Structure 1
Amino acid sequence: MQPSNSPSLAGQSRLAGSGWHAACPECAETWKLSGGERVVVRAVRAADAEKERAFVQALSRESRYYRFLTGGRVSDEVIDLFIESNAGLALVVTAEVDGLPVIVANGNYVVTPGEDGEVGEFAVAVADDWQGKGIGRRLIQRLRDAAVGAGLHRLRGDVLSENRRMLALMREFGFSTRRNPEDSLLYEVSLVLGELAGYSAQQAVARLLPA
């Protein structure tokens, strides 16, 4: 999945005062996975830059292709944008591997203007060894909840047509799917958030407060 890299200034202004990332940058949540592993999800930090590069470089060619639409090397500029952008929300999932915390998944949305309101262009990626454990599903839930709390109108993204598992998950979450009119290899997935508007930014933060 490939989000847009064109943040809206209006989105930056409004998100500066609401949502998980701004309201509680140190909040974290521990997830217990289906195999018994424990991971932590939190907002990305500037200090994560090297860990994020290592995460992206360790992805298989297929996983990089599904996430970045290229199986080759991902530029430092793309990784830096994920770390540094404040026009939306960026999350990382960490786990202890050989006693050290490493990033095993990430997800983000970037706010862009839309005809009916602001749109969150979102994407997620999960390390190959950690796929199939429910991490991607939970990341999408958190991004959705945060987008609702921030008052966004819609979430959207692009999914490669061959990425059937992601397309099935999108439909399960209620996203509409249609062929991208500009690229037949992609499906555009979209979820209108209006019906979820009762979910507040405060509730999203409360779920992540340390116990």
Structure 2
Amino acid sequence: MSGQKRLPPWHEKFRLRDGRELLIRPIRQEDAAPIRGAFSLLEPQEIRQRFLSPMNELSVDQAAALCTPDSRTAFALVAAEPMIPGEALVGAVARAHILDGGKQAEYTVLVSRFIAGQGVGRHLMRRLVKWARGRNVQQLQGDVLDDNQPMLQLVKSLGFRVLPGHQTPGMSRVVLDLDTAAGRLGEAEPAPTAPA
């Protein structure tokens, strides 16, 4: 019998390139307070890139809504310290929700600058793709500010197309067709905690 405890579904350890370990897991109600508290650590540019407008704080209601997705139509993961939800600092949030009709889902991802550039965003995007495919969603889409080059580069590297002519100037709509080869990116990938 193995001495390692098996993690629940959608839970996994993720080792950052700098050696720190995070726990990727579904978002919990208890995460609302730490997420609200960490909001003040975000720079205005990070907030604008994620929320597509300037904000000074995340309200109690906004945090509660983010942390209680409807499991029938939405899914949200966090990359957090490996501590009890409610006590763990949350460094990244990824969310997808199915749009009316059920064939499309929209995603959002926010990765704090404290862990950016270490593969967390890519890993979370792969998990959103896997969830969407499991729900028979045919297309995953999102809106990205044109000046958010790291996110645009990331989604392009994962097979997303950038559609021309967004209705909002300075914004791009990115789309991944999940029934194509590029849309199968969530199926096979290396384990997130490979030994160094």
Please give the alpha-carbon distance, in whole angstroms, between the structure 2 residues aligned to 1:163 and 1:179: 16
1:54 equivalent in alignment to 2:37: yes
Residue 189 of structure 1: SS of its match in structure 2? Answer: strand
Higher RCO (Cα < 8 Å, 6 or more apart): 1
TM-score, normalised relative to structure 1: 0.75
1:82 equivalent in alignment to 2:69: no
Please give the alpha-carbon distance, in whole angstroms, between the structure 1 residues aligned to 2:20 and 2:46: 22
Asked whether the equivalents of residues 148 and 197 of structure 1 are also in contact (C-alpha less than 8 Å), the reply is no
Q: Give the one of 70, 73, 98 matched to 2:53.
A: 70
Q: Specify the code of the residue in structure 2 equivalent to 1:127.
A: S
Q: Deviations over 1:67-99 (max 9, x none)?
A: 0012322442332221122121011110269xx
Equivalent residues in 2 for 1:100-179, closer than 5 Å = 101-113=88-100, 117-179=102-164
Residue 54 of structure 1: SS of its match in structure 2? Answer: helix
Structure 2 stretches of 5 or more lacking a match?
1-6
Please give the alpha-carbon distance, in whole angstroms, between the structure 2 residues aligned to 1:51 and 1:197: 35
Of Structure 1 and Structure 2, which has the larger fraction of its residues in helix? Answer: 1
Of Structure 1 and Structure 2, which has the larger fraction of its residues in strand? Answer: 1
Q: Please report how far the alpha carbon of residue 148 of structure 1 lies from its aligned counterpart in structure 2 after TM superposition.
A: 0.8
Q: Please report how far the alpha carbon of residue 194 of structure 1 lies from its aligned counterpart in structure 2 after TM superposition.
A: 1.1
Instruction: Kindly report structure 1 stretches of 4+ aligned residues shifted beyond 6 Å.
Output: none
Q: Give the one of 11, 20, 23 matched to 1:37.
A: 20
Asked whether the equivalents of residues 154 and 192 of structure 1 are also in contact (C-alpha less than 8 Å), the reply is yes
Structure 1 stretches of 5 or more lacking a match?
1-23
Residue 128 of structure 1: SS of its match in structure 2? Answer: coil
Residues 164 and 195 (structure 1 numbering): CA distance in 2 closer, same or farther, change over 3 Å?
same
Residue 130 of structure 1: SS of its match in structure 2? Answer: coil
Please give the alpha-carbon distance, in whole angstroms, between the structure 2 residues aligned to 1:198 and 1:161: 23
